[in-house]
Amino acid sequence: MRFVDEYRDAEKARALSAKIADLCEPGRQYKFMEVCGGHTHTIYKHGLEDYLPENIELVHGPGCPVCVIPMGRIDDSIHIARQPGVLMTSFGDMMRVPGSNGSFFDSNAEGTNIRMVYSPLDSLKIARQNPDQQVVFMAIGFETTAPSTAMTLLRAEAEGLRNFSVFCNHVTIIPAIKAILDSPDLRLDGFLGPGHVSTVIGCRPYEFIARDYGKPLVVAGFEPLDLLQSIYMLMLQLTEGRCEVENQYRRVVPWDGNPVALRTINETMELRPYFEWRGLGFISHSATRLRERYADFDAERRFELPGIRVADPKACQCGEVLKGVLKPWECKVFGTACTPETPIGTCMVSPEGACAAYYNFGRFSRERVKEASRV
């Protein structure tokens, strides 16, 4: 395959769905979790759930970095932005995430200066252009975006930029998956492994899932045929009695990851003892902070933070959605009080959020189109 449209061939999709249906054991229910929010959007943008038999259910995991940030960290960011002489920068999908007293946009309306950037290097450029201000980059994301933050720190150190710092909120995927596996709320038959994260960490870190928990995992790409083939690979493992980690996304993901990116992360960051995740609570060694060598660039050391834990709004059920316990349309405020224009929870804000995917692509109920049965 050479072109994107080859990964979206409807006839090939129907052929794969028929193969998947043939592997289904009568009377058995299958439940697979797609960890990555990008997978969730592909599934509902292209109607892939409709190509699957009724006894295969896809549930959504905590693979949306914006969605898992707790409200307290949003409040801490706004607290930093309110300090005299501070200019804060952030990725665009963070601008509308609600804290306990509003979003970054709301804070800007009250006088703060929080700017949207496309890269942490943009923040470095702003710091050079504004030497009289403290420029703070709110770093978020899994191992996918951590290398760019790490490289920015290395460049800031090399240039001696003392008016630049990082508010580090990078999280790691493996402890979150382990927390889900240890949760009594959910019983899964397998995982569609995250594609973007795996370009950095590779496939080897997932081996404990098959070895210790007896669950197969297939690292999947982001096109419709990628996901259908990955589901087929999971079904084939279950049918043959195998339990392995497989790599469907081999055109992008190396088995051992990206050693240069991993080395750069390790040079600049270390694991925190624990970190709070929305919906999953505190998970040990699940996020990073800057190493002591880079303390001068650490916003958490440069500014005094409230560090107050803030509960989600009572009406919001993002936590249950992130754990795969609820589907978005089962939330009481989904599509009514909570929409992309008026979000109550993070899952409706982020481009990778499950609630945004369901809302934008019209999945308001359990109903499916019997696509697979028409093959």
What pLDDT is attached to residue 373?
42
Whether the predicted pLDDT of 369 surpasses 60: no
Give per-residue pLDDT as tens, 225-284: 999 999 999 999 999 999 999 999 999 999 999 999 999 999 999 999 999 998 788 999
Q: What is the mean pLDDT of residues 171-176?
A: 96
> 133 vs 310, which has greater pLDDT?
133
Give per-residue pLDDT as tens, 54-67: 999 999 988 888 88
Q: What is the mean pLDDT of residues 92-100?
A: 91
What pLDDT is attached to residue 365?
59
Helix then strand then coil, % of the chain, to nearest 5: 45, 20, 40
What pLDDT is attached to residue 57?
94
Q: And the tokens for 263? A: 């080395």
- Cα end-to-end distance, the chain, whole Å: 23
Q: What is the mean pLDDT of residues 193-219?
A: 97
Residue position matching structure tokens 């923040």: 123
Residue of 7, 127, 20 whose CA lies nearest to 371: 20
Whether the predicted pLDDT of 314 surpasses 90: no
Determine phi and psi for 134, rounding to 5 degrees: -90, 115
Q: Which residues touch 36 (CB under 8 Å, ≥6 apart)?
A: 61, 63, 192, 193, 194, 195, 196, 197, 220, 352
The DSSP secondary structure of 264-330, one letter per residue, reads HHHHHEEE-SEEEETTTEEEET-BEEE-GGGGGGBHHHHS-------PPPTT--HHHHHTTSS-GGG
What pLDDT is attached to residue 364?
66
Whether the predicted pLDDT of 357 surpasses 60: yes
Q: How many CB atoms lie within 10 A of CB 117?
A: 17
Give me the residue spans of the domains in the chain: 1-359
Whether the predicted pLDDT of 175 surpasses 80: yes
Identity at 219, one-letter amino acid code: V
Q: What is the mean pLDDT of residues 172-181?
A: 94
Alpha-carbon distance of 318 to 313, in angstroms, equals 10
How much is the mean pLDDT over the chain?
Answer: 92
CB 42 within 8 A of CB 4: no
Q: And the tokens for 265? A: 């992360």
Determine phi and psi for 9, rounding to 5 degrees: -75, 120
What pLDDT is attached to residue 223?
95
Alpha-carbon distance of 218 to 197, in angstroms, equals 13
What pLDDT is attached to residue 284?
96
Give per-residue pLDDT as tens, 121-133: 999 999 999 999 9
Angle at CA of residue 222, ends 283 and 66, nearest 5°: 35
Beta bridge partners of 284: 274
CB 344 within 8 A of CB 23: no
Give per-residue pLDDT as tens, 126-170: 999 999 999 999 999 999 999 999 999 999 999 999 999 999 999
Distance (Å) of CA 82 to CA 137, 140, 373: 14, 20, 57
What pLDDT is attached to residue 375?
37
Whether the predicted pLDDT of 374 surpasses 50: no
Q: And the tokens for 87? A: 């200019």
Alpha-carbon distance of 323 to 183, in angstroms, equals 9
Determine phi and psi for 204, rounding to 5 degrees: -60, -40
Alpha-carbon distance of 52 to 302, in angstroms, equals 52
pTM above 0.85, yes or no: yes
What pLDDT is attached to residue 316?
84
What pLDDT is attached to residue 372?
45
Distance (Å) of CA 29 to CA 26, 54, 198, 231: 9, 9, 28, 14
Whether the predicted pLDDT of 312 surpasses 50: yes
Stated length of the chain: 375
Q: What is the mean pLDDT of residues 368-372?
A: 52
Residue of 281, 82, 97 whose CA lies nearest to 175: 281
Identify the H or E element spanning 11: helix 10-23
Beta bridge partners of 31: 57
CB 339 within 8 A of CB 52: no
The C-alpha torsion from 91 through 279 and 230 to 46, rounded to 10°, is -60
Superfamily per CATH, domain 1-359: HypD, alpha/beta domain 2 (3.40.50.11740)
Whether the predicted pLDDT of 366 surpasses 60: no
Give per-residue pLDDT as tens, 21-76: 999 999 999 999 999 999 999 999 999 999 999 999 999 988 888 889 999 999 99
Q: What is the mean pLDDT of residues 180-187?
A: 85
